[in-house]
Every structure is written in C-alpha cells, then in structure tokens.
Amino acid sequence: MATVDLTEQAFAETVQDHDIVLVDFWASWCGPCRMFAPTYEAASAKHPDVVFAKVDTEAEQRLSAAAGISSIPTLMAFREGVLVFSQPGALPTAGLEQVITAVKDLDMAQVHAELARQQTEQKTGQKTGQQA
C-alpha cells in the first residue's frame, strides 16, 4: 500500500476507521524528512495491513499544532484510534520495523483498560478538587 497524504479534515476519520495508522509529520525543506521518506514508503509496501499516512506540516499547520509537533520528522502510531507511539527523528529501517511489530503486538484490551483507569482517576481527582 502506498502512503496517503492526510489533511486536517481527514485525520480523525482515518485514525478511527483503521486498526493501525502510522503518521509521518514532515516538511519538504527538512533533510531528515527526505532521508526517512524512502524507508517509510518501503515499509508501506511491506505492511499492506497498516495505513501509512503523511502530514505536510507546512500545508497542515493547524493539524501539526494540534498534534503538538515541535520537531520533524515525527512518527506517530495509532492503534484502534489510540495514540500508542510518538517520537521525533528519522528511524532507520530496522527501527521502523521494531515500531510496527510492537504496535501490532500490543494487547489492546490492556491498553483500553489502562486508559479507562486513567480517565476514572482524572474524573475522581477533578471531583475531589472541586469539593476541597
């Protein structure tokens, strides 16, 4: 599968509608981004079960800001709509393969349970803070 360009309008839908989505935040003037592009493209051909998306940080400045991008390239991985990995810097082929394998191997029942626990703690903490 080839990489797909993501816009602000398509971002949430893409992340929610696919099991695994990798997103490369990049810019045309960024040397490390240009070096990472062939590695990312090759991985997209090797893993047709994963959506490999790209966000041009120059064209999609609001999306980049909303994602908290402060350094490029930045790679994010989403599984079942949950951000499970985010790291700036160009990865070598082996590093990218490690990330893909780790994301595929995640126990998502455990991830969702942990998210639910954190949300409960936040709500409890907020209510406690309001009462004090």
Among 50, 38, 44, 51, residue whose Cα is nearest residue 91: 38
Alpha-carbon distance 92 to 104, whole Å? 19
Catalytic residue, from 20, 30, 53, 90: name it.
30
Strands 4-5 and 82-88: unpaired
Catalytic residue, from 15, 22, 33, 96: name it.
33
Among 1, 51, 60, residue whose Cα is nearest residue 26: 60
30 is catalytic: yes
For the chain, helix (H) and strand (E) counts, in that order, are: 5, 5
33 is catalytic: yes
The residues assigned a catalytic role are 30, 33
